């Protein structure tokens, strides 16, 4: 059995009890003085004391009734218009929620608090501390499978399948391709691509030489008859293959007409894509058709599935590259916030702008939350909590009512006695 938790309102309860005892004691004093006044010899002094004590006692009783009626029924009697706050807790909660949302949790107040907080500094200190950056990286890595699975959702997958071809094959796709190709050409990498393609073509011809010869011989027989095909088919096939291989061998790395023509063609096409919007649009449309093709999308989603499984498996390992990469990125962000005032300002402005956009919704939810919490309190709880917050000050109302009644009662008696020669209370 767990030990009882200390009452967080113990000090407030003690202060309320002390002030309540003082106010009640003062009221009792007025009652005692009223009774004692009848024991004295009749005279101006005893009559003044009696009038003052009676007025103080009545004033104290009236204020005790008023203060008590706010929180409960006086003496437990269901007198109308008493226990006001518990009976009006729903309206009280709504009014308090609206007040806090509209006059406390305002945009100006929140902006001032954010300005004093120095969010970039807090973020920098958090990220610069390995004891906090490492758990943050592990938490982000733990969220990675859920984030990746959202891409696999049917609606998200369909949206991506429609969106990616439009983005990749948009109006600027031709310009992007042109810049990429120009980088290859300027570095001479396009000739390496051509060499690779030629080598692959030669290897493919070598692998399929028998099938190609058979196809050529069959074509010769179709065009020239069986006799010509039998006599010349094999010879023509050998010559065709030999000629192709000879031409491919002539395209050497040291330069050839074909390579020069390829270089000129590549540069001319790049210039067209950069200068001719129609040509760039054609390239974009072609890319869009290729990316939107069902076969290519199936292949891309297959690659994505493999990549996702690898990422999820790596993110689950404490020593995996994913956690290390995220931790390094967080550390770099913290260092950037320390060195770059512009980055600090962007983070501060971004946080303020985000909170400003969310503030109206937050205000509405805050008002509803306060109203719901107060409405859910039972009568005893709301009476106890409200009285703990304002009850001490309300006991001074009782004290002041008793003392004011005492002095005003004595003053009224003295005035009436002086004017009319006698007064009766």
What is the domain partition of the chain in residue ranges? 12-87+377-420, 159-306
Burial 345-384 (b: 16+ CB within 10 A, else e): eebbeeebeebeeebeeebeebbeebbeebeebeeeebbb
Token output for 111: 């902006």
CB 10 within 8 A of CB 17: no
CB 335 within 8 A of CB 168: no
Angle at 78 between CA 87 and CA 406, to 5 degrees: 100
At residue 22, the pLDDT reads 93
Q: Which residue has the tokens 């890595």?
A: 141
**Dist CA 301 CA 158 (whole Å):** 12
CB 405 within 8 A of CB 57: yes
Token output for 193: 């691509």
Token output for 173: 């796709």
Token output for 394: 């309300």
CB 47 within 8 A of CB 34: no
| C-beta pairs of 202-206 under 8 Å, 24+ apart in sequence | 202/245, 202/248, 205/241, 205/244, 205/245
**Dist CA 159 CA 151 (whole Å):** 10
Does residue 172 sit in helix, strand or coil?
coil
At residue 33, the pLDDT reads 92
Instruction: Report residues of the chain scoring pLDDT below 70.
Output: 1-5, 151-177, 180-181, 184, 188-198, 201, 205-206, 208-209, 212-213, 215-242, 244-245, 247-258, 287-288, 290-291, 296, 423-425
At residue 228, the pLDDT reads 46
Q: How many CB atoms lie within 10 A of CB 137?
A: 22
Helices (H), 293-378: 294-315, 321-339, 341-376
**CB-based burial label for 284 (10 Å; 0-12, 13-18, 19+):** buried
pTM of the model: 0.43
DSSP element (H, E) containing 393: helix 379-420
HSE-CB at 356 with a 13 A cutoff on CA atoms is 11
CB 291 within 8 A of CB 169: yes
Q: What Rg value do the Cα atoms of the chain yield, rounded? A: 46
Dihedrals phi, psi of 255, to nearest 5 degrees = 120, 145
The CA distances from residue 345 to 68, 111, 125, 357, in Å, are 54, 14, 16, 18
Closest CA to 348 of 116, 136, 129: 116
CB 70 within 8 A of CB 63: no
At residue 56, the pLDDT reads 92
């Amino acid at each position: 059995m767990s030990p009882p938790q200390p009452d967080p309102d113990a000090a407030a309860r003690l202060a309320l009890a002390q002030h309540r005892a003082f106010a009640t004691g003062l009221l009792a004093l007025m009652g005692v003085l009223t009774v004692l006044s009848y024991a004295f010899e009749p005279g101006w002094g005893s009559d003044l004391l009696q009038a003052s004590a009676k007025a103080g006692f009545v004033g104290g009783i009236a204020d005790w009734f008023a203060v008590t009626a706010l929180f409960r029924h006086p003496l437990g009697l269901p007198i109308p218009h008493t226990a006001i706050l518990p009976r009006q807790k729903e309206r009280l909660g709504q009014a308090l929620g609206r007040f806090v949302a509209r006059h406390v949790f305002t945009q100006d107040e929140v902006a001032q608090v954010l300005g004093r907080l120095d969010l970039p500094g807090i973020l920098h200190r958090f990220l610069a501390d390995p004891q906090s950056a490492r758990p943050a990286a592990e938490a982000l890595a733990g969220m990675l499978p859920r984030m990746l699975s959202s891409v696999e959702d049917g609606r998200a997958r369909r949206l991506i399948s429609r969106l990616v071809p439009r983005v990749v094959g948009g109006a600027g796709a031709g310009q992007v391709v042109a810049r990429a190709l120009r980088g290859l050409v300027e570095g001479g990498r396009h000739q390496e691509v051509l060499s690779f393609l030629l080598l692959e073509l030669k290897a493919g011809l070598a692998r399929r030489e028998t099938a190609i010869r058979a196809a050529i011989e069959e074509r010769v027989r179709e065009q020239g008859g069986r006799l010509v095909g039998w006599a010349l088919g094999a010879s023509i096939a050998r010559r065709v293959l030999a000629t192709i291989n000879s031409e491919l061998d002539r395209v050497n790395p040291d330069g050839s007409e074909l390579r020069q023509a390829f270089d000129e063609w590549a540069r001319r096409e790049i210039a067209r894509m950069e200068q001719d919007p129609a040509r760039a649009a054609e390239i974009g449309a072609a890319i869009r058709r290729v990316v939107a093709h069902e076969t290519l999308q199936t292949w891309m989603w297959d690659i994505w599935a493999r990549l996702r499984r690898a990422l999820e498996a790596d993110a689950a390992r404490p020593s995996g590259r994913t956690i290390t990469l995220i931790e390094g990125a967080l550390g770099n962000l913290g260092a950037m916030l320390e060195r770059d005032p512009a980055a600090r300002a962007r983070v501060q402005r971004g946080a303020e702008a985000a909170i400003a956009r969310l503030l109206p919704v937050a205000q509405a939810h805050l008002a509803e939350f306060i109203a719901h919490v107060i409405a859910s309190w039972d009568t005893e709880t709301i009476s106890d909590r409200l009285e703990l917050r304002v009850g001490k000050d309300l006991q001074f109302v009782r004290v002041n009512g008793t003392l004011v009644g005492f002095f005003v009662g004595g003053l009224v008696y003295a005035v009436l006695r002086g004017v009319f020669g006698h007064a009766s209370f």
